[in-house]
């Protein structure tokens, strides 16, 4: 058995000398005596983005399909959980904290929102140029105005309809809708990522 070399001058006295044996750097030290950062505590984004992209695309597709989109919140949560699970398969043995899970889920939410935003803008452009859509919207506003005889309410409804018919109003409406959609998408997928990390941590404790 080789002799144990003396401790570095700046090494903590409470650390046993065996931790500094040749070929086995102790906690917080390298063989040359320089401190090092523990591995596995940071996300490897060059691997994480692939699983996040797949999870985000899946959630965006499911939320865009009629009737299936009713469970949009579940698909977003599932995207966050799936992004954590896929990252764990790519980096086996990694301990994923809820904070790391939130970041992975948020990344999936960003990808999902980008795809959903493109679909939303295209759909709005098609519907707005459709005369049937505009006629149906006008009829709906007229019904609402007829149900409320208050002149102020009718004036506000008519003003809103005129504003929506203008290019500036339509663009503003789309931007506000996309902002709300982005916040909701990223927040729910981040929560799903934290949930996935917590679930995996509990399974590891019971093993």
Q: Give 96-135 pLDDT, tens digit per residue.
A: 999 999 999 999 999 999 998 998 888 777 776 555 556 6
Helices 167-206 and 45-64 pack at an angle, to 10 degrees, of 120
Looking at residue 86, its pLDDT comes to 94
How far is residue 73 CA from its own chain's centroid? Answer: 12
Mean pLDDT of 177-188: 92
- Return the minimum-mean-pLDDT range out of 20-34, 80-94, 135-149: 20-34
Q: What is the dihedral of CA 192, 55, 114, 45, to 10 degrees?
A: 90
| E-state strands within the chain | none
Mean pLDDT of 148-157: 72
Give the integer Cα–Cα distance in Å for 54 and 36: 34
For residues 189 and 75, the answer to whether their CB atoms sit within 8 Å is no
Dihedrals φ, ψ of 151, to 5°? -60, -35
With CA atoms as reference, report the closest residue to 189 among 111, 95, 97: 111
Structure token digits, residue 153? 């309410």
Burial of 79 (0-12, 13-18, 19+ CB in 10 A): buried
For residues 33 and 10, the answer to whether their CB atoms sit within 8 Å is yes
Give 28-73 pLDDT, tens digit per residue.
Answer: 444 444 443 344 558 999 999 999 999 999 999 998 888 888 888 9
For residues 185 and 112, the answer to whether their CB atoms sit within 8 Å is yes
Query: Would you tell me how many other CB atoms lie within 10 Å of the CB of residue 60?
Result: 25
Looking at residue 2, its pLDDT comes to 54
Looking at residue 7, its pLDDT comes to 55
């Amino acid at each position: 058995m080789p002799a144990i070399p003396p401790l570095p001058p700046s090494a903590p006295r409470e650390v046993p000398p065996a931790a500094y044996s040749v070929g086995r750097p102790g906690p917080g030290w390298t063989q040359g005596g320089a401190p090092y950062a523990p591995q596995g505590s940071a996300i490897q984004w060059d691997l994480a983005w692939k699983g996040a992209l797949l999870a985000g695309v899946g959630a965006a597709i499911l939320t865009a399909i009629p009737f299936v989109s009713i469970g949009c919140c579940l698909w977003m949560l599932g995207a966050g959980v799936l992004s954590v699970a896929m990252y764990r398969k790519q980096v086996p043995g990694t301990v994923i904290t809820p904070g790391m899970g939130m970041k992975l889920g948020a990344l999936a939410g960003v990808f999902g929102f980008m795809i959903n935003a493109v679909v939303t803008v295209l759909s709005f452009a098609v519907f707005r140029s459709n005369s049937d859509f505009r006629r149906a919207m006008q009829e709906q506003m007229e019904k609402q105005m007829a149900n409320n005889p208050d002149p102020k309410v009718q004036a506000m409804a008519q003003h809103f309809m005129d504003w929506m018919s203008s290019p500036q109003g339509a663009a503003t409406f789309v931007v506000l809708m996309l902002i709300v959609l982005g916040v909701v998408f990223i927040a729910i997928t981040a929560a799903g990522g934290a949930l996935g990390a917590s679930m995996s941590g509990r399974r590891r404790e019971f093993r």
